[in-house]
Structure 1
Amino acid sequence: MPTETPTHEDTRPGRDLGPIAWGFKLFAISFLVLELLYVVVGNLFLNLGGLKRVASHNPDGFTLDYASVWTFWPGHAEARGLVLTGQAEKLQWMLRLDRATVDVAMGDLLERRFHATRVRGDGAIFRLRMRLEPEEVPEPQTRTLPPIKGFADPPLVAFGPPEADPTDEEYKLWSVELNDILVDMREIWIESYRYTGDVGIKGDFSLKPLRSLRVLPSTFAFRSGDLHLGEHQALSGIEGTLEAQLDTFDPKGISWLGVLRAFTARANFRSDVPSMSFAHHYLDKQPAIRKGRGVLDVHLGVDRGVFIPGSEARVMTDHVEVSAKDFEVALGVEASFRVDDHARGEFAALVEHGTLQFHGADAPAAEVQGARLALEAPADFIGPWKPQVYSLDLPSLRVSDMRRLQPVAPSGMKFQGGSALIQGKVARIAGGLGQGAVHADMWNASARWKDVAMTGSFGADLQVQAVDVAKRTARMRGEVGAGEVSIEGGGAAWSGWWARMLLDEFELRAEKGLDLLADARFKLRDVRPIVGVMAALDAVPPWTKEIMTMEGATIDVDLRKQGPGLAFGVEALAGEQRVAGRLVKREEEKSGAFLVRSGILSAGIRLGKSDAEITPAAGDDWLKEQLAALRGK
């Protein structure tokens, strides 16, 4: 009887999981097919310009462009020549990356939102400029604005009345949000400020056109670079960090004031200053500024337009040359700025040594040593900066040879020798007016004016009683003296002459032109030299030399100049001699009246437009009548 061969079931593990294995295989094959399909379709979509067209459907608001791009899985792409541009009512901007790796939230694209959750790149360029009104275009600074491809130069605001902002239902503009940015940049160009070099940036950025702009806390690491201000290089070899944040604000009515009010930053860097010539960006061609190599050290914090306590900066330059039309100033400057614990800004500038030299001269006309200016004001650098405390200290302003001041001598006067020294200090405390003192000496000063020559030594001590910078006024008093004076003129000579002037009041007003008021008393050895000089200059009749001697004369003078008008009053007494009167000048008309008395002799002199009328034996009543007529004019 045949025996049956027993059957053995296959009991290897997994034998009964065939459907699951096929499911995994099907999933893997589907994934590979879909991935292959994504790679093919996705890259075709990207490289045939599909994403460009979708994102840039409104090129007046936002555009996206790239030279090449590829992707191997959804939401991740690598690009070459990636460019984002956009504009709002008041600004235009561009971000370009030579190479970029970007992770994009794909679902946000359906909401017209380019949201990169991770950005890595290098060779980046960022440019930003404000749009201009037509009348602003001729300004020189507009030539140094960054060009942005796709927008016209110069960047004018839109012509015509502004369009109404779209409602939320009508809003179809693309917004941009870039998170987790880690990029190496080679250029940052904002308005006329252009940085080129190596800087690493880490941060976040978002823009919703016509709605909001925001820069989350970001860090800029400057490893080496240069800063150009317009056509001039301002800084070189910049190394340091900048931590910055821009609060969310509406970009429609944007202004630099609005940006600064939303800006918070901390800057710590050091750089070289190749030359101070970058100041020409703010100035006309004159004065010409050359040289001034130095070092800048910055540790500043800004919180919405206000410097934070502890901020400080310092710049030191060795030799700055400032050349004007007729002269050149050369000086070394050390300037510093700091903010104290009470949020008050303190600025100080020290000129250790400086010179003033006129063109064509072989030596400086004047030298300054140790001059120092200090200012204190609230640390808000956006609002009007009005110093509440200041001091100006001038230990030494020396003129070694007066002949070198000839270019600024009054018309017809020639300096022939002598030296001078001026020292002074003016300071103002909060809530008060500026006060101080000025001292000046001239030794062996010699000058000639027409046919008159004078040599002597002079000195002045003035107390500055009140300086109001806002109103541009100054009031002072003091004493001026002259000694060992020799005078030649009109065929006569005087030596050993002296004079002293007590200035009771002297006020300068520079609000509209230059006005002054002065009341002074002179004490003179005699008036012979003065009368002789005036006669030699045809200012008084020659016969006055014979009757006007006035030994030990005392003279009271008052002077008033306002606009084109001038009034000069005098009363001189010496024994039995007296001169009193007033001279008035209005526009081109001159008039005056003087009473001259010597003993029993007297004469009245009335000055008209072109002649002088003499009244013999005139008295005080005649003078009162003439002065009343002058006041009535």
Structure 2
Amino acid sequence: MERTPSFARRLPSWLRRALVAAVALYALYLIAGNLFLNTPWGESTINRKPDRFQMHWESGRTWWPGRVSLAGVELKGQARRIAWQAQAARVEGRIALWPLLRRRLQIPTIHAQEVIGGARRVDKELLPPPPREGGWELLFDRIASDSVRHAYFGALVLEGQGSAEVGFYKQLRGGPMEVMPSKAHFRDARITREGTDVMRDGVLQAEFAIARHRREEAAGVDKLLKTEARIRLDGATSGVDVHVDPQGGVAVKPVPGTGEAHADLGFSQGALTPGSRLQWSMPVTGHDIAGAARNDALGLALAVDQDIVLKATVPPRADGRLSLDADLRLRGNQVPLRDFQSLLPRASGHVVGDWRFTSLRWLSGLFPQAPWLKLDGAGDVSADVQVVDGKLAAGSRITVPGVEAVADVMGNRIRGQARADIRLDAGPKGELVPRMEAVMGEFHVAAVKAPDKPYVQGRNLRLSLNADGELTELTQNLKARVVFDNASVPDLRVYNPFLPREHMRFDGGAGFLSGDLSLDAAGEVGHGTLRIAGRGTRMVLAGIQARGDVDLDLKLRRADLKRHAFVADGSTVQLRNASFSEPGGESRSGWWARARLDRARLDVDRPISAGGQADVSMKDVAFLLALFSRKKEYPAWVYALVDAGQAQVNGHVQWQDDVLVLDRVQAHNDRFELLARLRLQGRQRQGDLYAKWRALSVGVELQDDQRKFHLVRARQWYDGRPDLLK
């Protein structure tokens, strides 16, 4: 019986050969493909530039051309300063074979399981090679995973139940790149920083894409100008610890706490998209620069329409160090990628609150017209300010309970801890007019050239400033005033460098200094008063030792800024309870004198130069007589003048350096008359005296220690003597 031929024998021979070839090719592919995936040959072929890209796997298999499955996959690489890596328990994907003929590696789908990965910045930068033509194209249409477990960037770590779909394109050798519309989703999300929770029990969703571009078109942060993104976030957040060290350095770190964050933020090519919103509340703890503990709560809210509206609140708390209520609108919705200070000119709104600054130097910037005033040091600020286009606006108020204030006034440095109240008013043309009222609870005064050697100490110095006009213009409009009362001067001899040495100086004693001075933009006195008062002060006056209570009240009105010259009309000098010794040793006590400078000019450069017309009331003329001779050398009747009662005196006074001149001095009452002129220079004494009592008269001619008495025709002799001042 004949056997039935098999199905294969009934096939045409060419078809049988084709089937055999296909089986052989498939078997060859199985062998070659699996050898490639499971021997060092595969990894060495891929990892030819290990500094830029490496891929390793534990095992792999392929059962069909273009379809690959890998287990234990690890990838890592570096681009410039960003080093990245990714791991997956299993990766399955399909490679499109025909595009390989066009130098394109296209992988339509990749599916990864149990994925972890991230990126960090490194110190050593890996520069890309120069661009070249003909680079391979890499096209990953869809990389997906429904088991992303762990991701990080630097110290931030994201953990949870995550899924992601990513697609990207890149041409090697410096060609363009693109991230196609991609997305990621995490639930039970936990974000940590260095092991401390930042967010927990959260839900995170992200959508993003980067338009195709070359490196030279958008490098680094400029890639955000090609980016479209949207992030949704809901979760519990941690607290923040803010620590300020004594040097002013600020350290911020997350700490356990209970806060909340809710965000839906859209970003498109460098701008937040309308409808974006953010709400975030968190506890803030830590220590300020003084070491005081803080316990505050910060709330942030952001909303975007055509502009960005930002609100921040810190409710005042008994154990807190900060309170804040800020409501600002940022014009436009662009996000500055490099210069964050460019946000400031776009901001308008109000800020109310109390907070501490490590440096208050910025307060001096409110008064650029007053370079002689410096405000600095760490301190608290209480503010209620209006902001228009990034600048403080009229209606703003700033209170500083304590600020280190330094004012340099005519060669003197006034320093103290002050409370300052600053307000910004609107001028007649809408210009900003800063005004400040400051009080130094305690202050001291020293020479600018020796600031560590104070010679005046006082309390409650009041400083006011009004800066009419624009902040950067019209410095001549600055009005400043310094007022203080009864500041202690431990040693009045500190003023001797200003006095005419031999003929007017303090030999000891303490005193008090008061002032009410108006200043200009240069810190120079425009007008005002200075009062020096001493009790039981030892003095030398025209060579005579004296002791008593002195009170000098100077009325100043500037006459010449360059020469520090002043009109001092109306200034007064009083000497009370004075005692002095006459040249012969005779002593007098209980003497007094009051002088008024009706017309006076004063030059306060060292030493002081002064001159003018003086009107004096004095108890008697004993001091004037003592300037010319000893009591026993006068005729006996002369000292009857002393007992003749109070005298009115007027004359001209001038001193310059060590020269003191009294000229055309007239002393009289209804019982006597006394005329005198006297010039003192160093130890030289020159002058003339005429005294008349009833029918008696005498003239005294003084030349150093020599005296010549004129008892006959004394008035004619005196009238013939020349004046000392023209």
**Fold shared by both chains (TM-score > 0.5):** yes
CA 474–568 in structure 1, closer or farther in 2 if over 3 Å, else same: farther
Q: Report whether the alignment pairs 1:435 with 2:411.
A: no
Query: When the two structures are aligned, how many residues end up with a matched partner?
Result: 497
* Equivalent position of 2:118 in the other structure: 127
Q: Which amino acid aligns with 2:62?
A: T
Q: Deviations over 1:136-195 (max 9, x none)?
A: xxxxxxxxx3xxxxxxx633234xxx8543233xx4xx5432222221323333455543
* Equivalent position of 1:493 in the other structure: none
* Equivalent position of 1:309 in the other structure: 274
* Partner Cα distance (1:440, 1:23) in 2: 100
- TM-score, normalised with respect to structure 2: 0.55
Q: Write the mapping of 1:78-227 to structure 2, written as runs, cut at 5 A.
A: 78-88=69-79, 92-109=83-100, 111-128=102-119, 145=121, 154-158=123-127, 164-168=130-134, 171=135, 174-183=136-145, 184-190=147-153, 193-209=156-172, 210-227=174-191
CA 219–622 in structure 1, closer or farther in 2 if over 3 Å, else same: farther
Task: Tell me the CA shift for residue 568 of structure 1.
Answer: 4.1
Q: Report whether the alignment pairs 1:426 with 2:390.
A: no
* Equivalent position of 2:479 in the other structure: 519
* Equivalent position of 1:385 in the other structure: 343
Q: Which amino acid aligns with 1:176?
A: L
Q: Which amino acid aligns with 1:570?
A: H
Q: Which amino acid aligns with 1:304?
A: Q
Q: Report whether the alignment pairs 1:45 with 2:36.
A: yes
* Equivalent position of 2:518 in the other structure: 557
CA contact (8 A) 2:208 2:230 kept: yes
* Equivalent position of 2:608 in the other structure: 613
Task: Tell me the CA shift for residue 270 of structure 1.
Answer: 1.3
* Equivalent position of 1:337 in the other structure: 302
* Partner Cα distance (2:125, 2:489) in 1: 68
* Equivalent position of 2:406 in the other structure: none
* Partner Cα distance (2:137, 2:243) in 1: 39
* Partner Cα distance (1:537, 1:516) in 2: 37
Q: Which amino acid aligns with 1:426?
A: V
Task: Tell me the CA shift for residue 580 of structure 1.
Answer: 1.1
* Equivalent position of 1:371 in the other structure: 325
* Partner Cα distance (2:241, 2:530) in 1: 59
* Partner Cα distance (1:585, 1:320) in 2: 54
CA 20–474 in structure 1, closer or farther in 2 if over 3 Å, else same: same
Q: Report whether the alignment pairs 1:579 with 2:555.
A: yes
* Partner Cα distance (1:285, 1:428) in 2: 27
More displaced 10-residue stretch of structure 1: 175-184 or 32-41 = 32-41
CA contact (8 A) 1:66 1:82 kept: yes
Q: Which runs of 5+ in 2 are unaligned?
A: 357-379, 402-418, 442-458, 497-504, 532-551, 573-594, 615-651, 658-726
* Equivalent position of 1:324 in the other structure: 289
Residue among 279, 287, 295 paired with 2:260? 295
Residue among 394, 416, 423 paired with 2:352? 394
Residue among 524, 527, 531 paired with 1:570? 527
* Partner Cα distance (1:59, 1:481) in 2: 69
* Equivalent position of 1:137 in the other structure: none
1:276 match: secondary structure = strand
Task: Tell me the CA shift for residue 380 of structure 1.
Answer: 1.1
Q: Which amino acid aligns with 1:601?
A: L
Q: Write the mapping of 1:616-631 to structure 2, written as runs, cut at 5 A.
A: 617=612
Sequence identity percentage: 16
Residue among 237, 242, 249 paired with 2:206? 242
Task: Tell me the CA shift for residue 326 of structure 1.
Answer: 4.5
* Partner Cα distance (1:585, 1:351) in 2: 51
CA 498–347 in structure 1, closer or farther in 2 if over 3 Å, else same: closer
CA 290–582 in structure 1, closer or farther in 2 if over 3 Å, else same: farther
* Partner Cα distance (2:439, 2:76) in 1: 72
CA contact (8 A) 2:422 2:436 kept: yes
1:54 match: secondary structure = helix
Q: Write the mapping of 1:228-267 to structure 2, written as runs, cut at 5 A.
A: 228=192, 234-251=198-215, 255-267=219-231
CA contact (8 A) 2:279 2:301 kept: yes
- TM-score, normalised with respect to structure 1: 0.62
CA 15–533 in structure 1, closer or farther in 2 if over 3 Å, else same: closer
Task: Tell me the CA shift for residue 227 of structure 1.
Answer: 3.3
Task: Tell me the CA shift for residue 499 of structure 1.
Answer: 11
Q: Report whether the alignment pairs 1:351 with 2:314.
A: yes
Q: Deviations over 1:172-227 (max 9, x none)?
A: xx543222222132333345554333321013122223112211101100123333
- Name whichever structure is richer in strand by fraction: 2
Q: Which amino acid aligns with 1:391?
A: G
Q: Which amino acid aligns with 2:269?
A: R
CA RMSD of aligned residues (A): 5.5
1:242 match: secondary structure = strand
Q: Which runs of 5+ in 1 are unaligned?
A: 1-6, 130-144, 146-152, 356-363, 399-420, 443-457, 467-472, 486-496, 627-633
* Partner Cα distance (1:533, 1:17) in 2: 124
More displaced 10-residue stretch of structure 1: 53-62 or 195-204 = 53-62
Task: Tell me the CA shift for residue 60 of structure 1.
Answer: 5.1
Q: Deviations over 1:30-66 (max 9, x none)?
A: 6655544432332112212343333333445544332
Task: Tell me the CA shift for residue 335 of structure 1.
Answer: 1.1
* Partner Cα distance (1:205, 1:106) in 2: 18
CA 459–434 in structure 1, closer or farther in 2 if over 3 Å, else same: closer
CA contact (8 A) 2:242 2:286 kept: no
